[in-house]
């Protein structure tokens, strides 16, 4: 049976999915606040660059799927940039995260929230113009299957875009990054959320995620063409992009 990393430990599919759900149940109501704290506010710049990087040929009559989009942070940015006749479906496996998202979208009739696994997305084939996933694919139990599902639900010519943490290649920056990640972030988790363990897992999960090149190869293996990698802030995060033929 295939096993997946939960931090540095490995579990079977059912156990891994359960543990990831447990992590996000614990942090859902302070998720966006902690993202600001953990990144010293940089996540706002990263997400702006992420949305700008979509570089779409048109800006109206578009359908977006934001996968692992729980609180709706990326959906808000999509709605702000692409304002004309668009639809956004926020998909997340965690109901607690979706509840947080729904609470801030009560005035929107073009945003839907769907509770669904990223490895079996409840969306029909060839549906979306764009699929985005921000800081979510490293938490998937089966990343290859998730990428295949993203390919399936995209229209021909559609865009897949992924924003994910990486590891700095500069030694000095890497040492500072490790000190912040392991020495400070879990303590902030304890103060703000009341839990250290979820943030210890999130820090560990970055270290077990594939390298830039390996993950980009996985995207290509799922069928995407014209794949690219864009490093931000010394490779602390990367934007991955691909197209469906």
Q: Is the pLDDT of residue 21 over 70?
A: no
Residues 178-221 pLDDT 10s: 999 999 998 888 888 788 887 888 888 999 999 999 999 999 99
Alpha carbons 16 and 37: distance in angstroms, whole number: 26
Query: For the chain, what is the total number of helices (H) and then of strands (E)?
Result: 10, 9
DSSP, res 236? T
Is the model more confident about 150 or about 31? 150
Kindly state the average pLDDT of the residues 223-241: 97
Q: Where are the alpha helices (DSSP H) in 40-126?
A: 42-52, 73-81, 95-102
**Poorest-pLDDT segment among 54-68, 96-110, 113-127, 151-165:** 96-110
Mean pLDDT to the nearest integer, 118-133: 97
% of the chain surpassing 90 pLDDT: 62
Range of the domain at 227: 3-243
pTM reported for the whole predicted model: 0.88
Is residue 84 scored above 90 in pLDDT?
Answer: no
CA–CA separation, 50 and 239 (whole Å): 7
Q: What is the mean pLDDT of residues 71-90?
A: 91
Provide the pLDDT for residue 20.
60
Handedness of CA 207, 115, 150, 50 (dihedral sign): negative
Q: How far is CA 245 from CA 154, 156, 169, 217, in A?
A: 10, 5, 33, 17
What CATH number has the domain bearing residue 165? Answer: 3.40.50.150
- Per DSSP bridges, beta strands 3-6 and 9-12 are antiparallel
**What was the pLDDT predicted at 38?**
86
Domain count, the chain: 1
Confidence of residue 28 (pLDDT cuts 50, 70, 90): low
Q: Given this model, what pLDDT does residue 139 score?
A: 87
Spatial distance between the Cα atoms of 113 and 71, rounded to a whole number of angstroms: 10
Residue 15 is predicted with a pLDDT of 63
Beta bridge partners of 165: 237
> Which tens digits make up the pLDDT trace of 138-166?
989 899 999 999 999 999 999 999 999 99
Is residue 27's pLDDT more than 80? no
Confidence of residue 1 (pLDDT cuts 50, 70, 90): very low
Of 56-60, 155-159, 168-172, least confident by mean pLDDT is 56-60
In degrees to the nearest 10, what's the CA dihedral of 217, 124, 17, 167?
Answer: 30
Which segment of 77-81, 215-219, 228-232 scores lowest on mean pLDDT? 77-81
């Amino acid at each position: 049976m295939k096993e997946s990393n939960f931090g540095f430990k490995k579990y079977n599919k059912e156990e891994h999915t359960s543990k990831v759900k447990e992590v996000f149940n614990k942090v859902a109501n302070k998720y966006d606040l902690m993202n600001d704290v953990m990144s010293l506010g940089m996540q706002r710049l990263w997400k702006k660059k992420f949305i700008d990087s979509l570089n779409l040929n048109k800006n109206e009559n578009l359908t977006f799927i934001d996968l692992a989009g729980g609180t709706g942070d990326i959906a808000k940015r999509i709605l702000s940039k692409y304002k004309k006749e668009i639809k956004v479906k926020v998909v997340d496996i965690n109901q607690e995260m979706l509840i947080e998202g729904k609470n801030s979208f009560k005035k929107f009739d073009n945003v839907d929230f769907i509770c669904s696994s990223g490895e079996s997305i409840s969306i029909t084939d060839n549906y979306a113009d764009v699929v985005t996933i921000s800081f979510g694919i490293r938490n998937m139990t089966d990343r290859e299957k998730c990428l295949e599902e993203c390919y399936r639900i995209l229209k021909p010519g559609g865009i897949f875009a992924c924003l994910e943490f990486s590891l700095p290649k500069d030694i000095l920056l890497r040492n500072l990054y490790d000190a912040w990640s392991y020495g400070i972030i879990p303590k902030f988790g304890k103060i703000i959320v009341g839990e250290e363990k979820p943030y210890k897992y999130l820090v560990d999960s970055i270290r077990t995620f594939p390298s830039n090149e390996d993950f980009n190869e996985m995207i290509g293996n799922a069928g995407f063409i014209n794949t690219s990698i864009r490093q931000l802030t010394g490779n602390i995060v990367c934007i991955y992009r691909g197209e469906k033929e």
